[in-house]
Amino acid sequence: MTHLTTRDRGPLRRRRLRGRDRNALLAVSLAAVSLTASGCVVVHGEREILPTTTRAEAAKALKQFTAAYNNADAAYDGSLDADFTTGALADIDSARLKAGHLNSPSGNSGHSALEFDDVRYTIPKKAGWPRWFLADAHGNKGGDDRWLLVFTRDSLSEPFQVAYLTLVAPDAVPKFTTDKDGWAETVPASSPRLAVPPADLGQEYATYLKSGGAAFADGAHTSGWRTDRSKSTKPGLATQYIDEPLTGGDYAPLALRTSDGGAMVFFTTRYYAKETAAAGTSVPAQNQDVKALTKGEIKQSLTMQFVSNQVALDPAGSGKVSVIGRIQGLTSAEGA
Is 152 a domain residue?
A: yes
CA neighbor of 254 nearest in space, from 89, 68, 48: 89
Residue 52 CA to residue 265 CA, distance in Å, equals 17
Could you read off the pLDDT tens digit of each residue along the chain, which spans 336 residues? 434 433 333 333 344 334 444 333 333 333 333 333 333 334 444 678 999 999 999 999 999 999 999 999 999 999 999 999 999 999 999 999 999 999 999 999 999 999 999 999 999 999 999 999 999 999 999 999 999 999 999 999 999 999 999 999 999 999 999 999 999 999 999 999 999 999 999 999 999 999 999 999 999 999 999 999 999 999 999 999 999 999 999 999 999 999 999 999 999 999 999 999 999 999 999 999 999 999 999 999 999 999 999 999 999 999 999 999 999 999 999 999
Overall number of domains in the chain? 1
Please spell the DSSP secondary structure of 63-74, one letter per residue: HHHHHHHHHHHH
The sign one gets for the Cα dihedral 160, 331, 310, 111 is positive
Q: Strand ranges (DSSP E) for the chain?
A: 4-5, 50-51, 116-122, 124-126, 131-139, 146-153, 161-168, 184-185, 237-246, 254-257, 263-277, 294-295, 301-314, 322-335
Decide if 135 is inside a domain.
yes
- Residue 38 falls inside a structural domain: no
User: Which residues span the domain enclosing 112?
Assistant: 4-29+43-335
